[in-house]
Structure 1
Amino acid sequence: MSENPFFAPSALPYQLPPFAEIREEHYVPAFERGMAEQLAEVEAIAGSADPPTFDNTVAALERSGQILNRVSVVFFNQASSDTNPGFQEIQKAITPKLAQHGDAIFLNRRLFSRIQAISPGELEPEHRWLLERYVTDFVRAGAELGPEEQERLKSLNEELSTLSTRFEQNLLADTNASAIVVEDVAELDGLSEDSIRAAAETAKSRGLEGKYVITLVLPSGQPVLTELTNRDLRERIHRASVSRGLATNSEVVVRIAKLRAERAALLGYGSHAEYVVADQTAPGTRAVTEMLGKLTPAAVANAHREADELRETAGFDIAAWDWSYYAEKVREARFAIDSRQMRPYFELNRVLRDGVFHAAQKLYGVGFTERTDLRGYHPEVRVFEVSDEDGSPLGLFLGDFYARASKRGGAWMNSLVKQSALEGTRPVVVNNLNIVKPPPGEPTLMTFDQVNTMFHEFGHALHGLFSAVRFPRFSGTAVPRDFVEYPSQVNEMWAVWPEVLANYARHHETGEPMPQHLVDRMLEAQKFNQGFGTVEYLAATLLDWAWHTIDEEPGDPEEFERRALRNANVDLPLVPPRYRSTYFAHIWAGGYSAGYYSYIWSEVLDADTVEWFKENGGLTRENGDTFRRELLSKGGSVEAMTAFRNFRGRDPRIEPLLERRGLL
């Protein structure tokens, strides 16, 4: 394995992983060597006879584990974006070993003692903050526990890592298996012609020539329900969506919740939620509970009003699978707008170049050049070089926009190479979306929700690309979970900024701009259906909160879920949670456990920041430079709310969010 591409830094630009050279058999040896090498490095640090200093202890830890880092970022990105049975077997085997590896570092008493012995007095601010974060990381990992407690903690961490992988793999299999096969094209009445052709192409790719396949996206609500006139088919799709994981993940989620509660108690916390929030920007679980409690009554009241209007429009007592369809009818009647009218104006390449990239160029002066000579991890991945206004290199952006059976649902950003002055590396980031791929030769026409998602994920990408920190621990999106969504949500504002929208919303055939009356109606309709949108989000958030504040045996997960939603006053049959427990990947396999509240918590900061941009002239270089300098470039190198206050000049106000959500 001397030619294993993970054993040395990549020679490609920006150390882009050499995907053309990487083979499946390279991963396990790289993981094994990477872990062994880092443990040897850690042992050398912990056993050093020299007095502990920042450089020989903390900075040395930051430099350790290079091989392990290289293989990990590539493997887990691939496991999410383009997995296969071989990858899944490696993932099952390697995740518990990685949990053991982490414990071997963070439960090393000699290492922790050296870190504790370093005086912060003479250190620079970023160095002092890193030292403080390391002490916190070790304590939260159990470094101060006794030997017996540490042994139990190791066992919990190992089992939790295994269960998380099982959940993720079960969900991918269930989502693929739950795709709806349609025999008769007449059942697809209401779908656009390009959507029908895409369903036929999906069926063909699955060996179902002559049929049509509707794949499921991650949330409960499926986009096609907005258009399909066939109520029976809508019901089939809805039931398939909300049933995912019931057979395979029910026991998994109960076990994870119980183990997390036990681990939190072992570490001295009243619940897993308390453990998580202790290291976030929220001042405590009570603050989160109070915020959710303030939002819920008004949102539920709005949803009830919306439901009454939909019933009147439908002429009968609607069910959950009818909501999107009749909401669209009300939207069309009230705003004279049809979502299908808009899709021809949202062609993927134009949205990306003339929308997402254009806004970034205007705000930050950055440029984008597609590098067809550089290869991604899948043939559909596109690679762009990003440069600053003066032409100096900034990093690489990879775009992976299409859905496939080997990709998990949802949309996300990953870092393949982190920016770090210590290591002399520039950022390489990737955005993943799940847009159904059209037949060959046809344009990819997007819904406005997909457009908004592309802007959102690119906000995460900018957070990674603009990172200007010294230490990898602070690079890019390495900020508290309830802060990480803030910059990405801010970037959504440019999707509807008049100058940006006019630049990308052009008909894919004629190039004509979207008619102003259609633009006006689309913007006017943005607050429509906010009761539904807020309640489905809050229901998922409160469900996450319930699972991670358990103080007794949860029992049957479906009954636990019903009870939790009822206790939180969000048990609306017409508005299912955005994610039900058994397919809630964010909290069981995605790092958002007891943290799904972070989207609405971050939206407080986001809405206040959007107000700042509007007050200061909007899409200007001066505004972009300020946001980049004070916030995006900082990563985790300063305390998160300090960065916000340095940017905004004060604490955040909640009123802009309430106005946006129609909750005043």
Structure 2
Amino acid sequence: MSSEAHAASDATAYDGVFAKPSTLSLGAPDFTKYNDSDWQPAIEAGIAQKRAEIRAIAIQRSAPTFENTLVAMERAGQLFDRVYNVFSQLTSANTSDKLDAIETAVSPQIAALNDDIYLDSALFARVKAVHDSAQGKALTGEDAMLLKTTYDKFVHRGALLDNAKKAELKDMNGRIAELETKFAQTLTAGTAAHAVVFDSADELARMSDAAIAAAAKRAEDKGMPGKYVIPLLNFTQQPALAQLDNRASRKKLFEASINRTSSGDEFDTTGMVTELATLRAKKARLLGQPDFATFQMYDRMITTPAKAMEFMNGFVPALRATQDRETALLTEAARADGMTEALQPWDWGYYAEKVREAKFDLDESAIKPYFEVWNVLENGVFYAATQTYGITFKRREDLPVYHPTMRAYSVYDKDGSELAVFYFDPFSRPNKNGGAWMNNFVEQSDLLGNKPVISNTLNIDPPAPGQPALASWDNVTTMFHEFGHALHGMFAHQKYPSLSGTNTARDFVEFPSQFNENFATVPAVLQHYAKHYETGAPLPAGLLDKIEAAGKFNQSLTFGETLSAAMLDMRWHTLSPEAAAQPPLAFEAKALSENGLRSDLIPPRYRTPYFRHIWDNGYAAGYYSYIWTEVLAHDGWDWVEKHGGMTRANGDHLRASFLGQGHTKDYAVLYRDFTGHDPELEPMLEARGLAGEAAK
């Protein structure tokens, strides 16, 4: 460490609970030692320490080299990462008013820290000097990628601006950070507050007894004995809509979902959206870009908004043909059921499920008993990873968790060494963000001597007291999906933390996760975990074929709502500052009417006022990545099937070609290293039952 770095460390001394790495396995967080009063001092100390460490690099007297500038920057900020990696998971998965208040206080400080780094003229001069030097041009492999990505990030974040524009950008970034935090907190609170209350069990007719009992328990917990509460999940269509016989109940639930944060009450986010969209468009203009999407996509696999829209529009003819055909099919089913009114969005899931049951003889409630959550994890998700990659798992009841319904595991590599620590937090609760995600408590880095500590978080309905925790088929695929992210992090073997594991572009990072979904239906894996929780009987023969056939039905909704959301995201982020200032719902209505899909019957998966991915979670101009990476996942799985299926040899190849590579190579190169060719669309169209659909 240089004398400047020593001085920086001394000037920002901190001796709190996060001063040193946890002594638990691989530095896993010790939740028994953390109090609410610890967070803000630790985060602010981490910010101060990182700022001082970076400033010491910028002002050092030594001539710029790769080691004393780029590598030194990779070492900076270890205290901040140690505390904030844990804090950010808690505010997402187990938050409280106190944690929300701390997040509100520190988020602008974090934005200011990033600006202080990337708008530091002296620091950029050193990075640029290395970038332009003979030493820099001679770098190879991971070193070369670190130099490229660091230099590009500085330019992207405004390093070439003059001082006046840098000051303007800092103000914008601070306000954007405040708004993103406020949006996230308001949405979480609004989603919980707009849980739907029903007065009688008759209004919930056709829901399972266990689901009705859980609804009664929620109401009782809220001080409403005798009533029934259905919580809202993150997305537009709610699972209960497929079950409720009572049409008025379906309408009530659907309207609560789509209006949760746009009803003019304290949870209304539309004003925040307008300001965020406008500020982002102004920021892009300040940085010399035509719109925020162009600004965001500088480091993507798909590099421009036009290419992303062209890619998405390519699905519209086939999908619209499917939507028209399935609309007629569901209308016919509704007429046979005695409904004379026009089919509405709140009817779609209900009649789709009726047609599914009739056409495929498939009842979701009959499937769930075969998918007990912990059995799916340990004998399905883990089993597939063991068979494919040779890794093994051991439950760690000695490791503390932040919620009692979680579990922790040690993960061992094929040579018996400890590879990672893994946490699983499966059940929804009011103080938890919707959706599902993976996070790193500790990120892998050979430079820092860190191995990964990773968590998967889901929102499966918790069981009623005394009942088993059962998963829907969608929950099962989500478990495999999120574990794909976990594997991407576990198999990381990079020197530099900024290139490690899942630190890849938005339109690549979802590839390993969507690819891992394929293991859920491999017969040897399915037979190992799909067992009745009471009898142990295997999933009946032929039921998987029905599940897969039924999975190709209702693409109107399952693919249509995702494509609509992705196109809406891109439309929002290609607006000028002037156009972004219009009322959000008016703009959304216009954008949806022009996308060529039946958005009147099938709204986007997230409407603008509760589109957390793009207003808080970093997916602005990037929601298309779920579709793009699905193309990669199906094409990649096609390679696996053509090369022997789920074998250890293929597992080693997957790990060597892309799962263990982080961002050490260009994304197209990583994909070609895996399959030997560029991505092909046909396997995805086949998997979704859309091949040739536009021609029908």
How would you bin the TM-score normalised by the shorter chain? over 0.9
Q: Which residue of 1 aligns with 2:8?
A: none
* 1:286 correspondence with 2:298: no
Q: Which residue of 2 aligns with 1:617?
A: 644
SS in 1 for 2:423: strand
- TM-score, normalization by structure 2: 0.94
Shift of 1:231: 1.0
Q: Distance in 1 between matches of 2:516 and 2:301?
A: 21
Shift of 1:205: 2.8
Q: Distance in 2 between matches of 1:581 and 1:626?
A: 41
Question: 5+ unaligned residues in a row in structure 2: which ranges?
Answer: 1-12, 692-696
* 1:82 correspondence with 2:94: yes
Percent pairwise identity: 43
Shift of 1:53: 1.1
- Give the AA of the match of 1:160: I
* 1:249 correspondence with 2:269: yes
Q: Which residue of 2 aligns with 1:277?
A: 297
Q: Distance in 2 between matches of 1:540 and 1:520?
A: 30
Shift of 1:650: 1.4
SS in 2 for 1:416: strand
Q: Distance in 2 between matches of 1:422 and 1:208?
A: 55
- Give the AA of the match of 1:297: P
Q: Which residue of 2 aligns with 1:219?
A: 235
Can you list the C-alpha shifts for 1:559-609, whole angstroms capped at 9, x where unaligned?
110011112223531101110000000000100001000011111111100
Q: Which residue of 1 aligns with 2:215?
A: 199
SS in 2 for 1:235: helix
- Give the AA of the match of 1:150: K
Q: Which residue of 2 aligns with 1:475?
A: 500
Counterpart mapping for 1:427-446 below 5 A? 427-446=452-471
Counterpart mapping for 1:487-566 below 5 A? 487-551=512-576, 552-554=578-580, 555-566=582-593
Aligned partner (choices 194, 209, 215) of residue 178 of structure 1: 194
Q: Which residue of 1 aligns with 2:39?
A: 27
SS in 1 for 2:420: strand
Can you list the C-alpha shifts for 1:581-639, whole angstroms capped at 9, x where unaligned?
00000000100001000011111111100101111111111111110111011111222
Preserved contact between residue 93 and residue 431 of structure 2 (Cα < 8 Å)? yes
Shift of 1:390: 2.2
Preserved contact between residue 200 and residue 226 of structure 2 (Cα < 8 Å)? no
Q: Which residue of 1 aligns with 2:440?
A: 415
Residue 2 to residue 479, structure 1, CA distance change in 2 (3 Å):
closer
Q: Distance in 2 between matches of 1:201 and 1:120?
A: 63
Q: Which residue of 2 aligns with 1:7?
A: 19
Q: Which residue of 2 aligns with 1:68?
A: 80
Q: Distance in 1 between matches of 2:557 and 2:48?
A: 51
- Give the AA of the match of 2:473: F
Aligned partner (choices 279, 300, 316) of residue 259 of structure 1: 279
* 1:598 correspondence with 2:625: yes
SS in 2 for 1:120: helix
- Give the AA of the match of 1:616: H
Shift of 1:540: 0.6
SS in 1 for 2:332: helix
- Give the AA of the match of 2:653: T
Q: Which residue of 2 aligns with 1:371?
A: 396
Preserved contact between residue 476 and residue 636 of structure 1 (Cα < 8 Å)? yes
- Give the AA of the match of 1:269: Q
Preserved contact between residue 421 and residue 469 of structure 1 (Cα < 8 Å)? yes
* 1:115 correspondence with 2:115: no
* 1:577 correspondence with 2:577: no
Q: Distance in 1 between matches of 2:82 and 2:17?
A: 9
Preserved contact between residue 564 and residue 599 of structure 2 (Cα < 8 Å)? no
Q: Distance in 1 between matches of 2:306 and 2:125?
A: 34
- Give the AA of the match of 1:497: V
Moved over 6 A (4+): none
Can you list the C-alpha shifts for 1:427-459, whole angstroms capped at 9, x where unaligned?
011011011211233201111001111110111
Q: Distance in 2 between matches of 1:207 and 1:437?
A: 19
Preserved contact between residue 587 and residue 596 of structure 1 (Cα < 8 Å)? yes
Preserved contact between residue 396 and residue 427 of structure 1 (Cα < 8 Å)? yes
Q: Which residue of 2 aligns with 1:158?
A: 174
Can you list the C-alpha shifts for 1:492-547, whole angstroms capped at 9, x where unaligned?
01111111111111111000001113222112212111122222111111111111
Q: Distance in 2 between matches of 1:278 and 1:133?
A: 11
SS in 1 for 2:458: strand
- Give the AA of the match of 1:130: L
Question: 5+ unaligned residues in a row in structure 1: which ranges?
Answer: none
Q: Distance in 2 between matches of 1:14 and 1:160?
A: 35
- Give the AA of the match of 1:68: F
SS in 2 for 1:396: strand
Q: Distance in 1 between matches of 2:588 and 2:514?
A: 28
Q: Which residue of 2 aligns with 1:651?
A: 678
* 1:143 correspondence with 2:143: no
- Give the AA of the match of 2:16: N
Preserved contact between residue 301 and residue 531 of structure 1 (Cα < 8 Å)? no
Q: Which residue of 1 aligns with 2:3?
A: none
Preserved contact between residue 5 and residue 18 of structure 1 (Cα < 8 Å)? no
Q: Distance in 2 between matches of 1:469 and 1:632?
A: 12
Aligned partner (choices 60, 66, 78) of residue 54 of structure 1: 66
Q: Which residue of 2 aligns with 1:188?
A: 204
* 1:632 correspondence with 2:659: yes
Q: CA RMSD in A?
A: 1.3
- TM-score, normalization by structure 1: 0.98
Q: Distance in 2 between matches of 1:225 and 1:257?
A: 32
- Give the AA of the match of 1:337: L
Shift of 1:2: 6.5
* 1:395 correspondence with 2:407: no
* 1:235 correspondence with 2:251: yes
SS in 1 for 2:302: coil
Q: Which residue of 2 aligns with 1:104?
A: 116
Q: Distance in 2 between matches of 1:9 and 1:519?
A: 46
- Give the AA of the match of 1:624: G
Shift of 1:117: 1.1
Shift of 1:6: 1.1
Preserved contact between residue 640 and residue 650 of structure 2 (Cα < 8 Å)? yes
Preserved contact between residue 413 and residue 460 of structure 1 (Cα < 8 Å)? yes
Q: Distance in 2 between matches of 1:603 and 1:2?
A: 45
The 10-residue stretch of structure 1 (591-600 or 223-232) with the greater mean CA deviation from structure 2: 223-232
* 1:357 correspondence with 2:382: yes
Can you list the C-alpha shifts for 1:222-265, whole angstroms capped at 9, x where unaligned?
01111111111111100000002113100111111111001111
SS in 2 for 1:217: coil
SS in 2 for 1:369: strand
SS in 2 for 1:241: helix
Residue 3 to residue 376, structure 1, CA distance change in 2 (3 Å):
farther
* 1:41 correspondence with 2:60: no
Q: Which residue of 1 aligns with 2:409?
A: 384
- Give the AA of the match of 1:290: E
Preserved contact between residue 371 and residue 530 of structure 2 (Cα < 8 Å)? yes
The 10-residue stretch of structure 1 (296-305 or 205-214) with the greater mean CA deviation from structure 2: 205-214
